Amino acid sequence: MRVVAGLVVLPPLLVALACATMTPPPGEDWPRCGFAEAGLDAAPVNELVSEIEAGKYHFVDGISIVRHGALVFDRDFAHDYATIYAGRDASTGPYNYFSAEWHPYYHGTSLHTMQSVTKSVTSAALGIAVGRGEIPSVDAPVLHYFGERVQNVDERKRRLTLRHLLTMTAGLDWDEISVPYEDPSNVCTRMEASADWVAFTIDRPMIAEPGTTFAYSSGVSQLLSKIALAATGRTIDEYARDHLFAPLGIREFHWKRAPGGLPDTEGGLYLRRLDLANIGQLFLYGGRWHGAEIVPKAWVDASVAPSVSAEAVWPTAMYGYQWWLPLTDAARGRRAWMASGYGGQSLLVFPDIDLVIAVTSWNIAEYDGIPEEKLFELARRVTSP
């Protein structure tokens, strides 16, 4: 131990060990750690910031990097969205994605739209319900929660289970990838324009045996909102508030309601970016927080285990329980778990190097943001010797 100008200076190894023991306390600021103290190289991050400031990735709103439970980097980038997307859509309400009142920030707050990252958070909340016995298992039949007014019921739809919804292998007639979301003929856009998202989805005809074919479906994720209410007696936002967010110290969030009043579990959640990082850190810790189990470890493990190839959408990824499992880093000996949302929302967890990266953006229509591979490259470079 050395003392310089009255300050105690720890040897690098001891500093790194100190960083390695940090855990973000619920409801308080994250502990902070310098790049060198966390064993990270700042140069790749500085390069990325320079590229963002130069406009290379258009409208990135912020990046947070966490190592060993300590906040190493946190930066916001301001954009005038009322001007950027002005005149694109004259409609009002929460599903006008060009409206600066709703997107990307909720009514001028720091709560940022998560879009399809909502799916991963919803899955975590359902895992809690399974752990508490309110849902018997992932093999619970879906139609049990929907009564008798479901259309196009055949034997395949009767065999549909919660597992099939979580892994996007429902077998329903659904293709939201071939047509841009801005096109009104996109099936997801049509669902969002309908009066009942759940009925729109569950009434679709079956085109494949459940469990056999991956088809990315926001509608299938919306069915989870109905199942959560039927199983627990509470809406998913209320349930997540008490059993997921509160234990993590997440006090403020917004969850949009779909037509009919159910929370939008396909893309309606708004969180602060550092609270999003909390979710990633929770999964990195196997579902435990300060010694208490929040999400059952078995659920975390199953969520980030490869259940099905997502090749039809992402050629180098598998899919778990509403989580993407990119193979690009796995090929290099590092696992990666990813929650991803429209417009450039990303939560990346690298369990083998104890690293979490959270990114928020609002690159829609003709604008492209930071490619996923760029973020994987960032993780590799910052942790390279």
Each residue's pLDDT, cut to its tens digit, for the chain (385 residues) gives: 232 233 333 343 444 455 755 666 655 578 999 999 999 999 999 999 999 999 999 999 999 999 999 999 999 999 999 999 999 998 889 999 999 999 999 999 999 999 999 999 999 999 999 999 999 999 999 999 998 899 999 999 999 999 999 999 999 999 999 998 888 999 999 999 999 999 999 999 999 999 999 999 999 999 999 999 999 999 999 999 999 999 999 999 999 999 989 999 999 999 999 999 999 999 999 999 999 999 999 999 999 999 999 998 998 899 999 999 998 765 566 899 999 999 999 999 999 999 999 999 999 999 999 999 999 999 999 998 6
Q: CA–CA separation, 111 vs 328, rounded Å?
A: 31
CB 188 within 8 A of CB 155: no
pLDDT tens digits for range 216-232: 999 999 999 999 999 99
Evaluate whether 203 touches 154 at the Cβ level (below 8 Å): no
CB 235 within 8 A of CB 241: no
Per-residue model confidence (pLDDT) at position 10: 38
pLDDT tens digit string along 17-68? 557 556 666 555 789 999 999 999 999 999 999 999 999 999 999 999 999 9
Residue 332's pLDDT is: 64
Architecture of domain 2-382: 3-Layer(aba) Sandwich (3.40)
* Angstrom distance (rounded) from CA 324 to CA 322: 7
Six token digits for residue 319 = 């899919």
What single DSSP character describes residue 104?
S
Q: Do residues 322 and 362 touch, judged by C-beta distance below 8 A?
A: no
Q: How far apart are CA 277 and CA 72, in angstroms?
A: 12
The residues, ordered by sequence, that sit 6+ positions from 48 with a Cβ below 8 Å of its Cβ are: 63, 370, 374, 378
Q: Which of 329, 309, 330 is nearest to 320 (CA)?
A: 309
What pLDDT, on a 0 to 100 scale, did the predictor assign at position 21?
54
**3-class state of residue 120 by DSSP:** helix
Please give the model's pTM, rounded to 2 decimal places: 0.93
| Residue carrying structure tokens 């989580």 | 323
Inter-CA distances, 214 with 2, 128, 169, Å: 58, 25, 5
| pLDDT for position 2 | 30
How far apart (Å, rounded) are the C-alpha atoms in residues 192 and 197? 7
Identity at 367, one-letter amino acid code: Y
Query: Cα 363 from chain centroid?
Result: 16
Tokens found for residue 194:
């309908």
Taking CA atoms, 233 is separated from 31, 79, 131, 229, in Å, by 37, 41, 16, 5
Q: Give the model's pLDDT for residue 329.
A: 64
Give the start-to-end residue ranges of the domains of the chain. 2-382
Cis peptide before 104 (omega within 30 of 0): yes
Query: In terms of DSSP bridges, do strands 317-319 and 324-326 run parallel, antiparallel, or are they unpaired?
Result: antiparallel
pLDDT at 167: 98
What 8-state DSSP symbol labels residue 134? S
